[in-house]
Amino acid sequence: MTQLAVEWLLEELRGVVECPVVTLVPRKAVELFVRVDAAAITAKAPTLQSGLVAIQVYGADLEAVIDTIQTIRLHLIDGAFHRSDKLLGWDEEAGPHDFPDPDTPDIFRWQITGELFTTLT
The domain spans of the chain are 3-119
- Bridge-based pairing of strands 108-119 and 87-98 is antiparallel
**Beta carbons of 37 and 56 less than 8 angstroms apart:** yes
pLDDT, position 78: 92
Helix (H, G, I), strand (E, B) or coil at 2: coil
Task: Give pTM, 2 decimals.
Answer: 0.92
Q: Does domain 3-119 have CATH number 3.20.20.70?
A: no
Q: What is the mean pLDDT of residues 77-98?
A: 92
Does the pLDDT of residue 44 top 70, yes or no?
yes
Average pLDDT estimate for 81-99: 93
Phi-psi region of 102 (alpha: psi -120 to 50; beta: other; left: phi over 0): alpha
- At residue 29, the pLDDT reads 80
Between these two residues, 30 and 21, which has the higher pLDDT value? Answer: 21
Mean pLDDT to the nearest integer, 23-29: 90
For 56-83, the pLDDT digits (tens) are 999 999 999 999 999 999 999 998 888 8
